[in-house]
Amino acid sequence: MSHEQPVNVNHLFSPVRPSGLGQMRIGIAGDFAGSGKGGGWRSATATHNSVDGSTTYSYHGAIEQRGQSGRSADFVARERVDTTQRLVWGWVSYGTAVEQTFHGPDGGWVRIRHIVKIESVYRHWATGYHTTVTTAKGEEFNFVTTADGVVTSFDSQCPFLYA
């Protein structure tokens, strides 16, 4: 494990669509420097499943730390959407640990450092998404987010900053 400072993305993200995914719509490739959500880029490929009608998007790219040219983290990610284009699941894995700030319950926010992987899965229309954020130390942080993007709960046995 590296003791290097994590790349600070410096933007507020949904736990379901974190940095590398949240800068652009699902399935889109390109440069997201002008997105207002930090700089970077990603490529995208799509694989359609003719049995269930779902589409899986595979990405690779890099996110840049705002205000620090040359400081970036490579990432790989995947997202699957169903026939209605609803996100079924998604994950992103970072080559260098990142620091991100997420929407939290009750309008607050949660900042987590040294993130190496984020996984989200759609459970049910009533319960929405379950997201697990994993750090380089193996710590896990869990969010529950409604289908329309509102964070309803956050759980952790690890240190974090909540405001």
Q: Is 65 part of any domain?
A: yes
Which residues in the chain land under pLDDT 70? Answer: 1-10, 33-38, 65-70, 157-163
Q: Is 2 part of any domain?
A: no
Helix H or strand E encompassing 44 = strand 40-48
Q: Is 92 part of any domain?
A: yes
Number of domains in the chain: 1
What's the pTM value of the predicted model, to 2 decimals? Answer: 0.87
Q: Is 98 part of any domain?
A: yes
- How many helices (H) and strands (E) the chain has is answered by 0, 11
Report d(CA 82, CA 163) in Å as an integer: 35
113: containing domain: 7-162
Q: Is 1 part of any domain?
A: no
List, in sequence order, every residue forming a beta bridge with 155; answer none if it has no partner. Answer: 142
CA quadruple 116, 149, 30, 37: dihedral, nearest 10 = -70
Report d(CA 143, CA 151) in Å as an integer: 7
Q: Is 35 part of any domain?
A: yes
Q: Is 63 part of any domain?
A: yes
Phi, psi torsion values for 33, nearest 5 degrees: -65, -35
Report d(CA 83, CA 150) in Å as an integer: 23
- pLDDT, tens digit, 9 for 90 and up, residues 97-118: 999 999 988 888 899 999 999 9
